[in-house]
Amino acid sequence: METSLRYGGDSSALRINTIKKPPTVRYAGDVSSALRVHAKQKFRIDSNTLLQLNGELDTRIGDPTFFSALLRFFSPELSAKIGAGLRYDRREKLHYTMHGKKSFPLTPDPVASFVVKGRCDLDKEFKQPTPSGAAELVWNILDFQKDQDVRLKVGYGIFDKIPYVQVRENNWAFTADASGKWNVKYNL
74 Rama class: left (phi>0) / alpha (psi -120 to 50) / beta: beta
Q: What pLDDT does residue 5 have?
A: 58
* Burial per residue of 82-104, b for 16 or more beta-carbon CB atoms within 10 angstroms, e otherwise: ebebebeeeeeeebebbbebbbe
β-strand partners of 113 = 105, 138
Question: Residue 92 in contact with residue 123, Cβ under 8 Å?
Answer: yes
Confidence band for 21, pLDDT divided at 50, 70 and 90: very low
In the chain, % of residues over pLDDT 90: 40
Considering the entire predicted model, what is its pTM? 0.74
Digit-coded pLDDT (tens) for 90-136: 777 888 999 999 999 999 887 999 999 999 989 888 888 889 999 99
Q: 37-55, pLDDT tens digit by residue? A: 878 888 999 999 999 998 8
- The helices-and-strands tally (H runs, E runs) of the chain is 0, 14
